[in-house]
Chains A and B, each alone.
Chain A
Amino acid sequence: MVIIERRPAAPARPPVRTRARRRRPWPTIVLFLAPALLLFGLLVLAPIVVAGYASLFTWNGFGVPTEFVGLENFRRLLVDEIFVGDLRRTLLLVTLSILIQLPVSLGLAMLLNQPLRGRRVYRLVFFAPYVLSEVVTAVLFTMIFSPNQGLANHITRLIGLGDLGATWLADPDTVMYSLFLVISWKYFGFHTLLYLAARQSIPPELHDAAATDGAGPWRAFRHITLPLLGPTIRISVFLSVLGTVQLFDMVWVLTGGGPIRSSETLAVSMFQEGFKRFHVGYASAFSMAIFLISLVFGLLYQRFVLRRDLEGAVTTMGDRR
């Protein structure tokens, strides 16, 4: 990942191996590791365990949960049309992202890889939305989609689609697509950048050789670029799916899950149940659903898809030095 450019100064004395530090490493290990373990254990792991525990109770969040109901919350979840709808909507967004957002990002990365004047400016601009917070983005787009003064309707009227453009976030049939539009606006630059970085690390000799052999740009892309971008594409799909499963800020601010709960995501439902209705036990079941979906997807994906790519990061085991 990272190459160190700075070389260490030659040792002033001959490098006599010493065991001074290795003799008593435990105090150092404990001293250096304790803060991270404490914070991570107390504020990340414990809450997730507590969420799992709370999901087995009917609980309003005050005092200690006492009304044990076992897996009843999960049984309810599976027949709750909100939950089933959340899953369906998540799947819709994932599908749209993989079929539209990521291919477009890939195309743009190929574009930016061409010798093009002002390439750096384009790169800077494409990526800019990524640094804006989801809330700021969502508020901006609420204004853009606003029925009267919003930009969106002005544009559709301008290109002669006036009647189509009235609803956007207000219509259950269009709200998810409007949402997808905003998500794409914010995140496609991020994926473009990943692809661009990967594309630029492909040695030019490969494409030169292909050109010498008479391969056109499409064949070179299909048989050289695409396979070599494989690891990056798989990572970008991974991040896109996880991001969608956990989506909250954008939806909460843009629509609040409406109209008539037609744009709710898992996290929005969790928030509604837990912080608005104080059904903390049931909300915890939503939390656990998000957790299990993320974890199972993440682990399966790593096991079967990323196995070849991720040497050294998340999956490194037993690689001691």
Chain B
Amino acid sequence: MKARHAALHLLSILVGAAIVVPILFGVLGGFKDNGQLFTNPFGLPDPWIPGNYTDILGSGAFWRQAGNSVGIAIATTVGVVGVGAMAAYIFARYAFPGRETLFTVFAIGLMFPFAVAILPLFVLLREMGLLGNPLGVVLPQIAFGLPVTIVVLRGFFRGIPPEVEESAVLDGAGPVRFFWRILLPMSRPALGTVSVLAVVGSWNNYLLPLIVFNDSRWWTLPLGVQQFQSQYSADTARILAYVTLAMIPALLCYAFAERQLVGGLTSGIGKG
């Protein structure tokens, strides 16, 4: 039993190392210079060179990109959760002809890839004058985030007993009031789940900002990282520092919302 335990530990540590080593390579590499990266790829930096990090943090471009990413993620999340919750409420609690067909259209939307729509979306956004405008990223992100939001929230809303709604109606609440004052506050766990999914999706989106933002003023972090890479292609250490800084918000957010994210992914996978 002891030997088996040790073997298990060893295996877990090996896999954990395979995950962690590339990240550590990035973090520590940012503190080295290119000579050190070549001669001493594995060890701690000697000496530690914080210049790569301080340059980036002092440059303004990084902060602007991070700010854009945050703003776009917040706008997307508020939009998709609000619009999605309203639709999910109707799908969960109102019976009307065509409801299931309509819901199925949204649900099949889970399988529609961004890449399919991107060309006509580009043309459409150009016609609407939304190229170079954050709305050109936010609105499509909301639209493409609706399927998962509606599927998860409808499942949750259906679980709320009808008596709750009936007593609210008895107390004189209309549907808007019930939705806003009772249903949403009761649904905090599910709202948390879909919010985290929306934040992660928006934060990581690359293709849409790539085609919408020509002007670096609106660039998000993924665009910035890639641009930085092509700009400093020979300066590995500097790129590693940038990558590390771009990873930190996502990893912090993950450490903070781990349960919500994990619970959301494993429950949103369609077990109803």
Contacts and interface: CB of A to CB of B under 8 A. Distances in A.
Contacts of A291: 112-113, 116
B8 A116 contact: yes
Contacts of A46: 120, 124
A49 B152 CA distance: 26
Contacts of A164: none
B217 interface: no
Interface stretch (A69-77, A78-86, A132-140, A219-227): A132-140
Nearest to B160: A4
B58 to A, nearest CB: 21
Given A133-B206, A151-B21, A116 B9 contact: yes
B143 A135 contact: no
B113 A32 contact: no
Contact of A116 (B12, B29, B179, B243): B12
Interface stretch (A6-14, A93-101, A172-180, A203-211): A6-14
A186 to B, nearest CB: 10
Nearest to B151: A313
A109 to B, nearest CB: 11
Given A4-B159, A47-B121, A132-B251, 13 more contacts: A1-B268, A1-B271, A15-B166, A21-B169, A40-B143, A122-B16, A128-B23, A131-B200, A139-B243, A190-B265, A242-B113, A314-B107, A314-B110
A229 interface: no
B96 A25 contact: yes
A314 B270 contact: yes
A142 interface: yes
B89 A51 contact: no
A146 B38 CA distance: 11
B181 interface: no
Contact of B113 (A112, A290, A310): A290
B8 A128 contact: no
Contact of A29 (B90, B113, B166): B90
Q: Which of B12, B22, B205, B262 has the most CB of A within 10 A?
A: B12
A139 B266 contact: no
Contacts of A194: 265-266, 269
Sort A-B residue pairs by CB-CB distance and give the 10 closest, nearest first: A312-B272, A133-B204, A36-B87, A43-B143, A47-B117, A50-B120, A313-B270, A135-B222, A47-B120, A246-B113
B132 interface: no
A36 B120 contact: no
Given A43-B139, A136-B247, A314-B270, A11 B119 contact: no
A6 B155 CA distance: 16
A37 B41 CA distance: 53
B112 A44 contact: yes
Given A43-B143, A143-B26, A143-B236, A136 B243 contact: yes
A126 B19 contact: yes
Interface in A30-66: 31-33, 35-37, 39-40, 42-48, 50-51, 54, 61
A193 B265 contact: yes
A298 interface: yes
B234 to A, nearest CB: 10
Contacts of A3: 159
8 contacts: A15-B163, A32-B86, A35-B83, A44-B146, A50-B123, A116-B12, A253-B229, A290-B113
A202 interface: no
A149 interface: yes
Nearest to B166: A15
Given A11-B170, A126-B15, A131-B250, A318 B100 contact: yes
A151 B37 CA distance: 9
Interface string B1-29: 00001001101100110111111011001
A42 B170 contact: no
A288 B26 contact: no
Contacts of B247: 132, 136, 140
B146 A40 contact: yes
A171 interface: no
Q: Which of B11, B87, B107, B150 has the most CB of A within 10 A?
A: B87
A39 B143 contact: yes
B153 to A, nearest CB: 10
B229 A36 contact: no
A2 B190 contact: yes
Contact of A18 (B84, B163, B166, B211): B166
A48 B116 contact: yes
A267 B272 contact: no
A125 B271 CA distance: 26
B226 interface: yes
Contact of B106 (A40, A142, A284): A40
